Each structure stands twice: as structure tokens, then as C-alpha cells.
A and B are shown apart, each in its own frame.
Chain A
């Protein structure tokens, strides 16, 4: 098979995504009051409603409707004042009623979009920039991805097929069903076929995840399946307007798998088409270890789900008051946050982007800013030292014992040259270890940096006097020796000398 980059020179890939997100931050299921949770004993979070016992009736969870409206408002969708639930009828044991309650032609949220800023390596996959706007960044571009709809539905239970081959129901000796997940509220976002590269698809999903996390509507864990993404992909020759036959790709349970699965599928389809074959409309399964997609089932005709309006649930009318109340709850979204960080606080674009995309970190950042306006040192601490520490130890910021107050104080100490950035790292690890305030740690460990220029000047003179030959060499043109002198001074200040001042004084003395 050819490489993706080469394939995309000849072919245009048309990609649409379907993103399922469990609303894990809710307390109860979509249509009953069973708790939502991951990892409970099988079939303990169930009741007559989610088990579909005869006579049980659904009652919609208002908080779930609020969550989907939040998602819609955050992605530029129109919130439909009147929408309906529908029944999607099919037989499978993971769905206790043998129909899934979902939505029909009109979903709660219709017709939105997300703008993507594609830069760096990711931009390289898009050979032709039609429909995009170049960004200031070299090789980067902006593109807008349409969102067809976001609708509400209920999740199915989980099945384990025992015996037989590759965990499938056919040929299994028996199957186990856990209905704990059955009835968990799920929102499904469907994009327009506006994505053109696997990198765009990955970026879209990352951005959507950041938004959902900022809205706090889901924990968006791809590992635990609370964020799931299927891709529809087809190819057409560059310049063509008609769509090719698409395949539906499943099991892409990480950003990397989404990218690699789509990339493989694009190359596979190109090979089929270039060999004179035809792409079959089918569902394919991405196998990350084998790095290939395999056919799950060929769709000869569309499935007939006998969709009709759910008669147990009246049409759902959203009032203006409800929509406005939800809008008032809308937090600052990653894009706006990023702009604020750049424009108001002067952060470099990459740092601003990085912070804005991590709701926990950015909230922490904003709180620290209310105590100390040294934005760049705070951002640097959070994105570098703090993040590295959290990642290395696998702990969440909230559980690290760090407080915005502590980080603000540390940044202030850095900014006014009380400590060096090297010392800051030391103080930070002591803060995490002891939970003590940075000023206390600095005082206890005598970590202040020496910024007294008279004292430093004396030490500099002492060092120069002790090394007359090196001074001569430096003055003879070997300016690289500056580092040697800095090191000597640092040694004498036990590492607490202010490097900036030391440099300044050394230059003054050596260059004259």
C-alpha cells in the first residue's frame, strides 16, 4: 500500500464522524433513577424501567436534557424548541426492551460547527487547501467542520460472549449480559462529511473532547468507552464532486487509533480503487495491533429499524427560559479562553492552546491569576513542572495537594528574582511533599537567590583574581569561557546567585 501522504495527492478523502458520549457526570440514567457508574457489580444498577419489565414506563431525565443543550450551544447548534423521542426497533439481548429510545429527524441540537486550526505536522496531510484559510503560522490553515446534529439516546447493556471465536455472539457457548449501562444517557454528535484528513479528524475529536470536558458533561474516557467515535470514510479523485462508496470504521478507541484507523482505511480504499476494484459499503473493524481494518459485515440494504415516535414520551418542548437558563450556565469555552490568554495575558499561542484545552489546569491558572498577575511564570510552572510531576506520578491536579495560592506565590517569587527557575523546581517538589507554602519552604531551606549586586560583584572579582590565565584567554577572544566563570561564581554562592546578574557583572568586568 502507498503512504497516506502520497495517496492524498491523488485522492480526496471524505470523512464524517459519529461521536457517542455518555453523560457520566449525571447522577441517574436517562429514563429511570438508577445510578450511573462504571465498574459496579453486574446487574446491580437496574430497575424495572431499564430492564424493560412489562408495564414499566420511561420518564426523561431533565438534567440530561440540560447537558445536551449545553453541548449544542457550545458547538454553535440551533436548539430545537420541539423535538421528539423515537423508538429504534431491533432485537438484541443488550437492549432490554428490544428498542432503543433515540431521536428522530429533529434532534435537540441541529446544524452547528466547530472551527479547526490545523498546524504543524497535522497540516501536512492536507495537500490541497481548498475550502480552508491559511493561518499566519506557516503551512497551517483554518477549516470549519459542520455538525449535522446532536441527539439524545440511551446506551445498551454490555455483553460478554463466552466460547466461540473472537468474542462474537455467533458460535459462542453462552453469553452474559450486564444491564448496568443500559439506559445511560448518551449524546451522539454527527458531523457533516467535511473532514479531509485523519489529522483533522483527530483534531476535531480532541477539540470536541476539550469542549465536553469544559462543560463537565462527561468524563470523556475513550479507554472506558464513555467517548466513542465511529468514522465514515470514502475516497474520490481530486477535483471530483460526487461521493464515493463509504465504509464505516469502528473500534477506534484512542486518538491515535482514530488517526491510524482512518489513515489505513484511506490507503486500503485507494489500493482497491487503483487496482480497478470497487469499495464495498460495509462496517470495518480497526485492529490496532495488526494495524489493519477487517470487514465486520457487508450492508447490502440499509437496516430497517422501524423508527417511529415514542408514544410513552410526549414531544419535548423546550421553553426560551429553559434554553436561556442553560446558556447562562455555559462556561468560557476553550477557543475564547485561548484568545483571552493570548490577548490579555500575553501567553505564546502554543501555551495558551495547551492550557485552554485542559479545563482543570486552566481553572487553576485563572484562580492563580486572581492572586498574582505573573501569567507567564504561572503558565510555565503549570505546563512544565506541574504537568510533568502529575504525569510522572499519575495523579490528578485536584488530588496533588497543590493550590492556586501556592502556585501564585511561587510564580511571584520567581518573577521578583527571589528564586531561580532551578530553585523553583525544588520548591515545587517540596510543596507537593510537605504541603507547605513556597515562602516558608524558601525560608526554611535558605533557597533565596543572591541578587545583591555588591555581594555578587565581590565574588566575581574574587573569581577573576583566582583565574588570571582564563581571564587572559577570554580577553584574547575565547568568549566561550564565560560559562566557566558563571559556574565558578555559582559554586561560591552555593547555586543561589542570580544567573542574570552574575552574567551582567562578569561581562562588565571582563569586557572592560
Chain B
């Protein structure tokens, strides 16, 4: 099997191939690494590759197959090459959060989402690039250099889970895990033309995932198809005694792939399509998707989310406050980057943190530290929590009327490196995804083809009621069937060169 053969496979293809003995799990692992070695130097999705671990996992799958088991008996992800965002602890690997602060940090334990994926038989390819501590929307804040968008190497893959989206779009990993605090799964999925799902807060355990905003963070899967994302979510979802915010999940998401949308009520939010700064091609793609859903038999309902406009403001209070506190542990005392030149402990803290963290991380910490200080707390943090309650109520009321919502993911397609230098403009790229984190609901980005103007991948966002993520899967899978011809994979490097150098899009 060549790397190219491997790159187009989905989870079902892998399981069928393994069952039919067309290839072994070890061959899959080797093909994945062939692909990564050939192309990742141009993309930089991986911060660390773990070929040995993948091969060991593959050997176990092959042994089980040799004993006569079928892939599903071994595990829902048996033989499926997977990669993890580098804020997820996996014992024996580095967990850097793309920060100089944790450059040499080796995890002493494994995150629940990672161990569940591995128990399901997945092959761990390595750890993926991200914005430093997930602070960003472009992967440009990584201390170890940005990741390129596999569709156009001059453009960002989105962020903060840019490495995860790029790894799937480039055909390195069949599925990948990312985390989403304000859009960090959905926006890069949209930019890279893959499927990315942030489940309802509490569906996937956060234990072992380095926290950014504890009340907002949620782990979710990336894949080339809704089916791959659903089966991966099935493998990692559920109550974890080590995360008391995680919940018992009854639904099997992959059971809803063929349920269709006939008779469902789907909400559209006119205010989102009319919002300032939304590119015409995004409005066009979303409108087209809405029309497809109507054709499929869904009933459309116009929805108002009166408080959603305040979500960004609330998010940039709550997020930095939680981040400030979560990142306090990186103090150079027990682990992490340390500068010893200080005269006392205070100077050691200051110097180590000033140079161990990048500028965006420092900005968020300082913001959080200010917002929580006495006298200021009641002007920002407290009202932000009140706004949060209102937005949560908006969504709860909306989902009394509809089974799912369809909106844009991002106001625009992937931008060029350095194109957005002003932090506030960068923050605005998450206006459609942030309200969902504030409310705690689930949301998915589904690729709907290339933008009419940009020629770059665009996605639409399907969101659902809390703990009804199966609605999202159901609607997304139905809508996906309306786009049978869109590319599931970014053009290979050779194709890309030909396309862009020839000036033809």
C-alpha cells in the first residue's frame, strides 16, 4: 500500500480492508508514515511522530485479526491511524501545547480521550501542532512554527486545532482529535475542508487534556466524513470518573447516520447571514446548504438568538480568566521551562514565564489577571457570566422549536499567514462558533465545497440541543449526501503546485 492509497481511506474502508485481509494494520501504519514523511515537511502538522507506538498498536490489531476476530470485535477504531492535538497527554510522548514552556515535558499519564481511542484499537501516529495553549485561530502562535493549510501552503489551516485539521486534510491521519474552546475544532475543519465536531460540553472527558478555559473546553474528532467523526466520537464519549463534568452518554452516534432529515425542523439564523464581515461566498454556500436541507424534507424555521452578539465579549472575559488560573501551574518549579538567573523565587517565576510563554499567551494571562482583580471582577467576570446565562437560554429556547440549527462556521475562508495581525480582528473570526461554547451545545463543521471567490474549502455549521449530538450527526450526514463530488482530501503537493503555479483554480 502506498501513502497515496492510504490517504483516501475512511474508517469503514480500513475495517473492510482489514477484514478482507487486503492489507494489515502494520501496512496501514507504514503507509501513514510514508505519507507523513513525504509531505509533512511542507505542512508541519506534527510536532512529534510516534511510529513505534503506532506499529506496536498495529501489531496487536494484526494479532487479534490473526486469531480470527473481525475489526469491530477488536474495537470501533481497530487499525485506524489517529493523531492527537498536542494538548492531550499520552504517556511516553511529549505534551508541549506548542509552547516553549513545555518543550521538553513528557506526559506521565494518558488523557481519557486518548486512552479510549487506543483501547478502541486506533494506531497513534503522533502529536499535532496547535496555537500555543490553544490561544489562537490560525496555528500561527505555535512556538514551533505554524502549520500550513494543505489546500494552499501560504494560508493558515485555522486554529487552534490547525494541526489536527491539516493532518486529516493532507491524508496523514484517518481521524484526529482536537479541542474546541471557542471554535478551535470547527473553524480549522472549515478552513481545511474536513469534518470537525465539538460535542456538547460533558460528552467527552477532559481528563488529561491541558486546560485552556475549563468551562468551555471540549474534545472532539476530525475526519474526512461525518461517518468517521461519528464512529470516533462513539469511541471516546462518555462518563469518566476522573472528570466530574463528564456525563453518561446513552446514544450511539453512528446509529444516526442514515436517519435522514425528513420531518425534522431546522433553524436558520438570518442575523448571522447578514452580519458584518461575512464574505458573500460564505453566505452563498450556507444558503445553498439550507436549500439542500429543504429539498431533503426538513422544515425550515427562522430563529432569533438575541444575545448571541454579546458572546464574543463574554468569551474574552471568561476564557482569559480561566486560562490565567489554569496556566498558573507553569511556574518553572516542578517542570517546564526555567531560567535560573533570578535573584529570588519571584524573579525566577517572572523570567521563566516571560520567556517560556509566547506573546498571545502572555496577553491572555494578563487579561485574565486584570479581569479577576478586585474591583474589576464585578465589572467584567460577573456580567459575563450573566450574559452566558442569557445566551444559554437563547439556545435552549431555539431548540424547543427546532432539532438543529444551520449557520456559517467562519465569516471567511482560510487567510494568508500574517494577513490578520491585529488580535481583535483575529478574535472576530470565531463569532459564529463562540456562542456555542458559551452555551455549551455541540456544533459540527461540514465541508460544502470550495468558495466561489476564494477557491478554498468552506464549511457550514450544524448545531444541536445539549446532549442531543445525534441530531447533529443525523443532519450533517444527510446534508453530506448532497455534496457527493467534493474533494475529501486536499490536493497532493504535486497537484497543488500544478494548480497554483498554473494560476488555475
Given the known inter-chain contacts A55-B209, A59-B241, please indicate yes or no for A91 contacting B328, CB distance below 8 A.
Answer: yes
Q: Which residues of A contact B213 (CB under 8 A)?
A: 311
Q: Which residues of A contact B344 (CB under 8 A)?
A: 170
Least Cβ–Cβ distance between B490 and chain A, in angstroms: 31
A308 at the interface (CB under 8 A from B): yes
B207 at the interface (CB under 8 A from A): yes
Residue-wise interface mask of B (239-252) relative to A, using a CB-CB cutoff of 8 A (1 in contact, 0 not):
00111110000000
Least Cβ–Cβ distance between B372 and chain A, in angstroms: 4
Q: Which residues of B contact A57 (CB under 8 A)?
A: 206-207, 211, 242-244
Asked if A169 contacts B208 (CB within 8 A), the reply is: no
Given the known inter-chain contacts A304-B374, A308-B321, A314-B244, please indicate yes or no for A55 contacting B111, CB distance below 8 A.
Answer: yes
B108 at the interface (CB under 8 A from A): yes
Least Cβ–Cβ distance between B16 and chain A, in angstroms: 35
Of the stretches A45-53, A278-286, A490-498, the one at the interface is A45-53
B51 at the interface (CB under 8 A from A): no
A54 at the interface (CB under 8 A from B): yes
A343 at the interface (CB under 8 A from B): no
Would you list which residues of chain A between 49 and 87 have a CB under 8 Å from chain B?
51-60, 87
Given the known inter-chain contacts A54-B95, A56-B207, A97-B329, please indicate yes or no for A311 contacting B322, CB distance below 8 A.
Answer: yes
Given the known inter-chain contacts A304-B374, A312-B214, please indicate yes or no for A54 contacting B241, CB distance below 8 A.
Answer: no
Residue-wise interface mask of B (213-225) relative to A, using a CB-CB cutoff of 8 A (1 in contact, 0 not):
1110000000000
B334 at the interface (CB under 8 A from A): yes
- The complex places the Cα of A98 from the Cα of B321 at a distance, in Å, of 14
Asked if B207 contacts A169 (CB within 8 A), the reply is: no
Would you list which residues of chain B between 62 and 83 have a CB under 8 Å from chain A?
none
Instruction: Pick the most buried of B107, B208, B241, B328: most chain A CB atoms within 10 A of its CB.
Output: B328
Asked if B245 contacts A312 (CB within 8 A), the reply is: yes
Asked if A96 contacts B329 (CB within 8 A), the reply is: yes
B105 at the interface (CB under 8 A from A): yes
Q: Which residues of A contact B372 (CB under 8 A)?
A: 89, 306-308
Least Cβ–Cβ distance between B28 and chain A, in angstroms: 29
B345 at the interface (CB under 8 A from A): yes
Asked if A308 contacts B214 (CB within 8 A), the reply is: no
Asked if A89 contacts B95 (CB within 8 A), the reply is: no
B331 at the interface (CB under 8 A from A): yes
- Residue of B with least CB distance to A301: B374
Residue-wise interface mask of B (323-350) relative to A, using a CB-CB cutoff of 8 A (1 in contact, 0 not):
0110011110111000000001100010
Asked if B328 contacts A54 (CB within 8 A), the reply is: no
B437 at the interface (CB under 8 A from A): no
Q: Which residues of B contact A255 (CB under 8 A)?
A: none
Asked if A99 contacts B211 (CB within 8 A), the reply is: no
Q: Which residues of A contact B102 (CB under 8 A)?
A: 54
B97 at the interface (CB under 8 A from A): yes
Q: Which residues of A contact B105 (CB under 8 A)?
A: 54
Asked if B345 contacts A93 (CB within 8 A), the reply is: yes
Q: Which residues of B contact A56 (CB under 8 A)?
A: 109, 207-208
Given the known inter-chain contacts A93-B345, A304-B374, A311-B214, please indicate yes or no for A55 contacting B208, CB distance below 8 A.
Answer: yes
Would you list which residues of chain A between 125 and 154 have a CB under 8 Å from chain B?
none
A302 at the interface (CB under 8 A from B): yes
Least Cβ–Cβ distance between A315 and chain B, in angstroms: 11
Asked if B108 contacts A96 (CB within 8 A), the reply is: no
Q: Which residues of A contact B369 (CB under 8 A)?
A: 306
- Residue of B with least CB distance to A305: B374
Asked if B89 contacts A54 (CB within 8 A), the reply is: yes
Residue-wise interface mask of B (82-115) relative to A, using a CB-CB cutoff of 8 A (1 in contact, 0 not):
0000011100000101000010010111010000
- The complex places the Cα of A170 from the Cα of B213 at a distance, in Å, of 34
- Residue of A with least CB distance to B202: A314
Would you list which residues of chain A between 277 and 304 have a CB under 8 Å from chain B?
302, 304
Residue-wise interface mask of A (481-502) relative to B, using a CB-CB cutoff of 8 A (1 in contact, 0 not):
0000000000000000000000
**Interchain CB contact (< 8 A) of B328 among A59, A89, A170, A302:** A89
A349 at the interface (CB under 8 A from B): no
A313 at the interface (CB under 8 A from B): yes
Least Cβ–Cβ distance between A159 and chain B, in angstroms: 11
B381 at the interface (CB under 8 A from A): yes
- The complex places the Cα of A177 from the Cα of B102 at a distance, in Å, of 21
Asked if A313 contacts B207 (CB within 8 A), the reply is: no
Residue-wise interface mask of A (169-180) relative to B, using a CB-CB cutoff of 8 A (1 in contact, 0 not):
110000001000
Asked if A308 contacts B211 (CB within 8 A), the reply is: no
B393 at the interface (CB under 8 A from A): no
Least Cβ–Cβ distance between A66 and chain B, in angstroms: 17
Label chain B's interface by main secondary structure. Answer: loop
Residue-wise interface mask of B (297-326) relative to A, using a CB-CB cutoff of 8 A (1 in contact, 0 not):
000000000000000000000000110110
- Residue of A with least CB distance to B215: A311
Would you list which residues of chain A between 199 and 254 have a CB under 8 Å from chain B?
none
Q: Which residues of A contact B322 (CB under 8 A)?
A: 311
Asked if A304 contacts B95 (CB within 8 A), the reply is: no
Given the known inter-chain contacts A54-B105, A55-B211, please indicate yes or no for A91 contacting B329, CB distance below 8 A.
Answer: no
- The complex places the Cα of A89 from the Cα of B207 at a distance, in Å, of 21
Q: Which residues of B contact A59 (CB under 8 A)?
A: 241-244
Q: Which residues of A contact B324 (CB under 8 A)?
A: 89, 306
- The complex places the Cα of A203 from the Cα of B387 at a distance, in Å, of 49
- The complex places the Cα of A60 from the Cα of B344 at a distance, in Å, of 35
- Residue of A with least CB distance to B336: A54
Given the known inter-chain contacts A53-B108, A314-B245, please indicate yes or no for A308 contacting B207, CB distance below 8 A.
Answer: no
Asked if A52 contacts B244 (CB within 8 A), the reply is: no
- The complex places the Cα of A57 from the Cα of B113 at a distance, in Å, of 14
- Residue of B with least CB distance to A52: B329
Asked if A98 contacts B328 (CB within 8 A), the reply is: yes
- Residue of B with least CB distance to A309: B385
Given the known inter-chain contacts A54-B95, A59-B244, please indicate yes or no for A89 contacting B325, CB distance below 8 A.
Answer: yes
Asked if A312 contacts B108 (CB within 8 A), the reply is: no
Least Cβ–Cβ distance between A14 and chain B, in angstroms: 25
B431 at the interface (CB under 8 A from A): no
- The complex places the Cα of A508 from the Cα of B209 at a distance, in Å, of 93
- Residue of B with least CB distance to A48: B109
**Interchain CB contact (< 8 A) of B211 among A98, A169, A177, A312:** A312
- The complex places the Cα of A96 from the Cα of B335 at a distance, in Å, of 11
**Interchain CB contact (< 8 A) of B333 among A93, A306, A312:** A93
B210 at the interface (CB under 8 A from A): yes
- The complex places the Cα of A91 from the Cα of B332 at a distance, in Å, of 12
- The complex places the Cα of A54 from the Cα of B217 at a distance, in Å, of 14
- The complex places the Cα of A51 from the Cα of B336 at a distance, in Å, of 14
Asked if A308 contacts B381 (CB within 8 A), the reply is: yes
B377 at the interface (CB under 8 A from A): yes
Residue-wise interface mask of A (101-144) relative to B, using a CB-CB cutoff of 8 A (1 in contact, 0 not):
00000000000000000000000000000000000000000000
- The complex places the Cα of A170 from the Cα of B211 at a distance, in Å, of 32
Q: Which residues of A contact B329 (CB under 8 A)?
A: 52, 54, 96-98
- The complex places the Cα of A58 from the Cα of B244 at a distance, in Å, of 8
Q: Which residues of B contact A99 (CB under 8 A)?
A: 325, 328
Asked if B374 contacts A313 (CB within 8 A), the reply is: no
Q: Which residues of A contact B374 (CB under 8 A)?
A: 302, 304, 306
B373 at the interface (CB under 8 A from A): yes
- The complex places the Cα of A85 from the Cα of B320 at a distance, in Å, of 19
Q: Which residues of A contact B333 (CB under 8 A)?
A: 93, 177
Least Cβ–Cβ distance between A259 and chain B, in angstroms: 35
Q: Which residues of A contact B349 (CB under 8 A)?
A: 91
- The complex places the Cα of A136 from the Cα of B163 at a distance, in Å, of 80
Having A58-B244, A97-B328, one finds 19 other A-B pairs with CB under 8 Å, namely A51-B334, A52-B329, A54-B97, A54-B102, A54-B210, A54-B211, A54-B329, A55-B89, A55-B107, A55-B208, A57-B242, A59-B242, A91-B331, A98-B328, A99-B325, A306-B325, A308-B325, A308-B381, A312-B245
The residues of A with any CB-CB pair to B shorter than 8 Å are 48, 51-60, 87, 89, 91, 93, 96-99, 169-170, 177, 302, 304, 306-308, 311-314
* Interface pairs (12), CB distance under 8 Å: A52-B334, A54-B97, A54-B105, A54-B210, A55-B88, A55-B211, A56-B208, A57-B242, A96-B329, A96-B334, A177-B333, A311-B322
A-B residue pairs, 8 tightest by C-beta? A98-B328, A306-B372, A311-B214, A311-B215, A54-B210, A55-B208, A52-B329, A55-B89
